[in-house]
């Protein structure tokens, strides 16, 4: 089964790495996507499971405040993180996390390699190593990634997570390269 041209290798990718148009006002470093990461995935023939944007789903494009971009970035991110912790939004995040875990398990049950989850550090929702708390960037996962990590653990799924930052393209690209190292030989050097 599935013995065709597909690579059978996928990663889970934060929505905004493919679509900067979804992030909060005033925070886009790029016009559309994180090209270096996307190009790396394409060169290595790795499929992408694009996460939904949890903030867009729960708070809308303006994140519930049309004047949010007037605040300093970390202050606005802290406000957004606080809103994402409200019970009604946590329910949405849990549903999305469970949907994703079901997809991951389905891929794995058919012999696909789910190489990892690529998030966005400092993000109030998709931070991996850092998130925004109390007006500063601090160690910890974003609101959605906390729930996602717990859902994966509950189902006994262990896959690595790495954080990127559009403001740190070289370091981010290197973290993704390290994530993609597998026992398989690459199709093209990247």
pLDDT digits (tens, 9 = 90+) for 128-154: 999 999 999 999 999 999 999 999 999
Pair of tokens at residue 95: 């549903």
Query: Residue 123, class by beta-carbon neighbours within 10 Å (0-12 exposed, 13-18 middle, 19+ buried)?
Result: buried
CA nearest to 79, candidates 143, 138, 132: 132
pLDDT score, position 65: 94
- Of 182 and 27, the one with more pLDDT: 27
What confidence category does residue 182 fall into, taking pLDDT thresholds of 50, 70 and 90?
A: low
Question: To the nearest whole percent, how much of the chain has pLDDT over 90?
Answer: 88
pLDDT for residue 187 is more than 80: no
Residue 117 exposure: Cα atoms within 13 Å on the Cβ side? 28
- At 102-116, the pLDDT tens digits run 999 999 999 999 999
Q: What is the pTM of this model?
A: 0.92
CA neighbours closer than 13 Å in the CB half-sphere of residue 133: 12
Mapped onto helix, strand or coil, the DSSP state of residue 161 is strand
Averaged over 150-161, what is the pLDDT? 97
- Residue-level pLDDT at 183: 41
Evaluate if residue 55 carries a pLDDT over 50. yes
């Amino acid at each position: 089964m599935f013995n065709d041209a597909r690579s059978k290798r996928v990663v889970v990718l934060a929505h905004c790495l493919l679509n900067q148009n979804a992030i909060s006002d005033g925070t886009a470093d790029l016009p559309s996507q994180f090209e270096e990461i996307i190009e790396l995935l394409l060169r290595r023939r790795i499929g992408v499971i694009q996460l939904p944007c949890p903030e867009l789903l729960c708070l809308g494009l303006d994140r519930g405040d049309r004047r949010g971009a007037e605040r300093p970035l970390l202050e606005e991110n802290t406000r957004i993180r606080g809103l994402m912790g409200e019970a009604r939004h946590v329910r949405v995040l849990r549903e999305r996390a469970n949907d994703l875990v079901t997809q991951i398990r389905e891929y794995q049950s058919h012999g696909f390699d789910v190489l990892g989850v690529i998030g966005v550090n400092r993000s109030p929702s998709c931070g991996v190593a850092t998130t925004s708390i109390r007006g500063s960037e601090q160690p910890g996962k974003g609101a959605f990634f906390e729930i996602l990590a717990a859902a994966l653990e509950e189902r006994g799924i262990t896959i690595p997570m790495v954080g990127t930052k559009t403001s740190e393209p070289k370091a981010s690209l290197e973290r993704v390269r390290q994530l993609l190292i597998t026992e398989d030989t690459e199709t093209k050097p990247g």
